[in-house]
Structures are given as C-alpha cells and as structure tokens.
Amino acid sequence: MKNFALAFALAVAGSGCIIVDDDGADLYESCFDVLDCDGEADRCHSFTADWPDGLRSTNSICTRSCFDSSDCPFSNGDPGICVSFDGGAFLCYESCFDDFDCDPGFACGDVGTGDTICLPR
C-alpha cells in the first residue's frame, strides 16, 4: 500500500499541475460578499451609476474605508481615489482615464468632481 501511495503522489507531483493559492478578489475587483475579498478590503460595496444614455447599472467591488486618496492603493498604474457619495462613507475607488482601465462590467465615468473612476456599466 505504501508503494501505491508513493506512486500516486509522484504521479500527481509530476503531472505538471500548478496549485494556485487565491486569497480573494483584489481591491476594486467585483465581489458578492466581503468574504470574496482579500485582506486589504474591509467591505464589498454595492453602488449604482446612472449614465447619460439612460442606463442604470449596479455592481459591487472590494474596497476599504479611507480618510483621503493617499489611503487608496494604486491600480493599473493610477492612484485610487477616496470618494463619498451623497454624504455616505468615504471609500476607495479605482481611478481611470478611459474604459480600458476598468474591469469588465465597469466603465470610466466622471463623479462630478472632475475625478473619473470605474463605475458599473
């Protein structure tokens, strides 16, 4: 039996399989629950964007609380932005220059302050 177990272990080890340790979604990535997020996030935040073409989209991202934008990590080479919508909590959002900076399901949009972040689309 020991020989079978050793042969099986060697076959699996030599199979070329790569074991990936996924510790959750990174900041600014989509989520369903805070448990989907990695240790940098303190919440899975759902928010809605109303687009000029009439589309209203909702999605959720892993994010964290912030005092100012220096608390928000970079993504895609751009700094994160600390924003509060409608007097709510200040949270980190992914800044962008165009839609290509955003993950699928998001597009680059102005939040009314001259700053652009990835918004649900």
Q: Judge whether residue 13 has pLDDT over 80.
A: no
Q: By CB neighbour count within 10 A (0-12 exposed, 13-18 middle, 19+ buried), where does 56 fall?
A: exposed
Place 87 in a pLDDT band, splitting at 50, 70 and 90.
confident
- Residue pair 78/86 in contact (Cβ under 8 Å)? The answer is no
pLDDT at 9 over 50: no
- Is the separation of the CB atoms in 82 and 68 below 8 Å? yes
Q: Is the pLDDT of residue 91 over 90?
A: yes
Mean pLDDT over each residue of the chain, to the nearest integer: 81
* pLDDT tens-place string over residues 95-116: 999 999 998 999 999 988 888 9
